[in-house]
């Protein structure tokens, strides 16, 4: 799963891992988020897609579909030759599918 896929899989109304029921009956709803997730997912320009995902993250945080009862500080440490580590804006989990070694 890429950082870009993370938001779609967790918040799109058609996503199988939408555990918060965001954009589903009984949950917080924002059809604009679904629309932007679809557009961002099909965007070929990675920079433009990243901008869309930042906008989506802000919208989801404003909608507040869930309230965290804990706060976890996380630090990602890597050698200088490890490149491409990504952390989705809506998660503390590091995704390694874009990581590579420059050595």
Helix then strand then coil, in percent of the chain rounded to 5, is: 40, 5, 55
C-alpha 11/C-alpha 41 separation (Å) is 13
Name which of 55, 56, 65 is nearest 28 in CA terms.
65
For residue range 27-78, what is the model confidence (pLDDT) as tens digits?
Answer: 777 889 989 999 998 888 988 988 998 898 888 888 877 666 666 676 777 8
| Six-digit token string for 50 | 């990243």
| Six-digit token string for 69 | 């009862």
pTM above 0.85, yes or no: no
Better-scored residue on pLDDT, 82 or 11? 82
State the pLDDT confidence band at 85, using cuts at 50, 70 and 90: confident
C-alpha 41/C-alpha 53 separation (Å) is 9
Using CB atoms within 10 Å of the CB of residue 22, give its burial: 0 to 12 exposed, 13 to 18 middle, 19+ buried: buried
């Amino acid at each position: 799963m890429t950082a870009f896929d993370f938001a779609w899989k967790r918040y799109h109304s058609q996503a199988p891992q939408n555990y918060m029921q965001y954009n589903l009956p009984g949950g917080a709803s924002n059809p604009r988020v679904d629309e932007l997730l679809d557009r961002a997912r099909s965007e070929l320009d990675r920079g433009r897609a990243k901008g869309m995902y930042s906008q989506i993250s802000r919208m989801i945080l404003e909608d507040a579909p869930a309230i965290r009862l804990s706060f976890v500080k996380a630090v990602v440490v890597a050698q200088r030759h490890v490149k491409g580590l990504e952390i989705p804006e809506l998660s503390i989990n590091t995704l390694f599918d874009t990581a590579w070694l420059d050595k």
